[in-house]
Structure 1
Amino acid sequence: MSSILLLEDDEELGEALRIYLQKAGYEIRLAGNCRSAEIFLTEYVPDIVIADIMVTVVINRLRKKIENNMTESVYIRNVFGVGYTFGE
């Protein structure tokens, strides 16, 4: 089973992505902030790291740790906007 470290600071979105990816057959570690991601990276080496674009500023701190632990690094920058409306 492939493992993913998902770094997402939006708790609801992170949980929704975790559930979706688990149902797709991935082992997911969900980190809500950079510090949690650092802890996860000392415990295991994920196959993939997916980071929220808003968190990528702090992921630069993690880049060296990720590159030292993973055999291959590919950075994909993704911008995704979601609009929420609540009632009228």
Structure 2
Amino acid sequence: MELFKTYPFEFDDEKYEVRIYHNDKLINVAVFKENHPATGIRHQIQIPEGMEIEKILNSDSMNHFIELSKKEISDNLWYNLAS
């Protein structure tokens, strides 16, 4: 998958990145810390045939997945699921 964009952010003095990867059929949104996945949570969007991926990647709707990913870190969602 190709890296489209990264969105750095901090939580509890730790540095994270929301990364958006894609190929011609899928978009993945995941949080990374120190160049490794920060959690086991990933948001995956399947691209319907004939839909322009660039249009989706550049849409305001992608902000929803970015903010959701950040909130999962601030809410300690992965820690709560794994414990």
Name the TM tier (shorter chain): under 0.3
TM-score, normalised on structure 2? 0.25
TM-score, normalised on structure 1? 0.24
Structure with a larger share of its residues in helix? 1
